[in-house]
Amino acid sequence: MINNKETMILQELEKMLYKTEKLEEGENIHILEEKEHLYDNEISVKINNGTITALSLRFSGLVQLPENIGALKNLQYLFVHDNKLNTFPDSIGRLTNLEVLDAANNTIDTLPSSLGNLKKLKFLYLHNNELSDIPDCIGELHELIYLNISENFLQGLPSSLGKLRNLVEFRLYNNSLTTLFNNIGNLKNLKEFYCMYNKLSTLPNTFGELHNLVKADFKNNVIQTVPNNFGNLSNLMECSFRNNRIREFSFSMNAMKSLKFLDLRANRLRFVPEQIKELQSLQKLDLRWNPLKENFGKDKVKSSILFYY
């Protein structure tokens, strides 16, 4: 049996779900059996040791969450994606045991500062919402390893993101970003970075300090220059600068010993970059849709490399 506060929250949620017709009048939120997974039912709750630890309210037509949802003090997983939410109640900051918050595919346009209290949060999904800015409190989520803020209306990012030193995967594509935060180099554990379909013209000088980065995608920006220390990314295996405005690379690639796939399609390159021959592990190079000269330097590319031009 759960306590009275948790029971009241479930009852309030059930009333909301009656209104959206996701539950029939008198129907209860499904309580998951031990072997059932949270994704087995769009609307369900997991109870362990007499307390609610997981809650799924997916595809429910909800326009808001209960103001007192913060009373679910042992909640670890909250799935509220694909609803009509435009914000979170301030009490969400009291969910201090929360590890996963999925609120993608809503209409969220503001985030409460109390979100920064979720010190155990590891996965945060906020893609496909209506956010125009990210509050500084995001930097307080020190345990975060995955962050997705793609498909919003972001034009800039707070420098507090540089505090997310445990972040492994960062997705922020399909926004209107013109710059990245200058201290991005602090994200020492970052392995995957997806920043496609923005308006970046260059990258911060600290980007080359992401020594654990394995995959980076910058396709469909307006990047003209790449900082010299980009060549320090010794663990980078896959990189795409497709559909940008790069004319040349001015840095050594000798340290990029892991790079296997390099996509430079649809830029403004006239010659094969001299440094390509320094890429010892390169398997695929794509230079299609560049204004290559007749003698563009095909001989600089090893015959063993899959080369498109």
Residues 119-135: pLDDT tens digits?
999 999 999 999 999 99
Residues 161-187: pLDDT tens digits?
999 999 999 999 999 999 999 999 999
Residue 39 pLDDT: 87
Given a cut of 90, is residue 1 above it in pLDDT? Answer: no
Residues 67-85: pLDDT tens digits?
999 999 999 999 999 999 9
- Among the listed residues 90, 70, 63, the one whose alpha carbon sits nearest the alpha carbon of residue 55: 70
CB 153 within 8 A of CB 132: yes
Q: Six-digit token pair at 133?
A: 């800015």
pTM: 0.97
Residues 28-55: pLDDT tens digits?
999 999 899 998 899 999 999 999 999 9
- Among the listed residues 205, 240, 208, 193, the one whose alpha carbon sits nearest the alpha carbon of residue 221: 240
Could you give the angle at the alpha carbon of 136 between the alpha carbons of 161 and 162, nearest 5°?
Answer: 15
Residues 239-284: pLDDT tens digits?
999 999 999 999 999 999 999 999 999 999 999 999 999 999 999 9
Q: Supply φ then ψ for residue 219, to 5 degrees.
A: -60, 150
